[in-house]
Amino acid sequence: NAGVTQTPKFRILKIGQSMTLQCAQDMNHNYMYWYRQDPGMGLKLIYYSVGAGITDKGEVPNGYNVSRSTTEDFPLRLELAAPSQTSVYFCASSSGSQLSTDTQYFGPGTRLTVL
Amino acid sequence: GNSVTQMEGPVTLSEEAFLTINCTYTATGYPSLFWYVQYPGEGLQLLLKATKADDKGSNKGFEATYRKETTSFHLEKGSVQVSDSAVYFCALRYNNDMRFGAGTRLTVKP
């Protein structure tokens, strides 16, 4: 049972390049999330999904896209990388069976630098 | 809107000292409240949670009580250990809205 896995661990992009951050979970969780964590700041929700084929915007969605074709995978796409997207990105999942007590399980993160 | 304000760090304590990290929240409804911990190089892990007023969450010697009258969820531990050194995040959840505080870095010295 690997939990939540993310690839790559580190990446450096040039301005205007695109890339996909991969996230997978093996806990059969319905809910999946993408967050970014800027230095000295808390996590901010980018997008989330409540099940395969269903996604919705979080607090800071601009510049990102997501898809959820399977229960296990929730990739995050950056189309035109900008320096403001330099951050650490965390993927998380939860069962979603009862939102008030729902525990999120986090991946180890992807550190992205845009130069 | 919903938000979380957390005590700024860093906090440095000696082993066996008492720990308090303050957290207050603003919410339009009645959220669930959480404390997460992040060890170096890792993702966040749930430390404890509380889902309604006056609930006390506890785990590994840490405690926090959901205080509706003061909109607070302060984290406490009676005797910290070196292994407690980490960044602690207060968070709230109201339906699908998740908000995190900025995090408080705790360093415990032997």
Query: Concatenated DSSP letters for B46-88?
Result: EEEEE-STT-EEEETTEEEE-BTTTTB--EEESS--GGG-EEE
CB contact under 8 A, B96 and A56: yes
Contact A39, A107 (CB under 8 A): no
Of B6, B1, B22, the C-alpha closest to B100 is B6
Please report, for residues A32, B61, B84, B86, the alpha-carbon distance to residue B40 in angstroms, rounded to integers and kept in the order given: 23, 21, 11, 7
Contacts with B4 from chain A: Cβ below 8 Å: 42
Q: What is the pLDDT of residues B62-86, one digit of tens each?
A: 999 999 999 999 999 999 999 999 9
Q: What is the pLDDT of residues A22-79, one digit of tens each?
A: 999 999 999 999 999 998 788 999 999 999 999 999 999 999 999 999 999 999 999 8
What are the structure tokens assigned to A72, written together? 């296990």
The HSE-up count of residue A66 (CA atoms within 13 Å, CB side) is 30
What are the structure tokens assigned to B51, written together? 């889902």
Name the B residues in 66-95 with CB < 8 Å from any A CB: 89, 91, 93, 95
In this prediction, residue B7 has a pLDDT band, given cuts at 50, 70 and 90, of confident
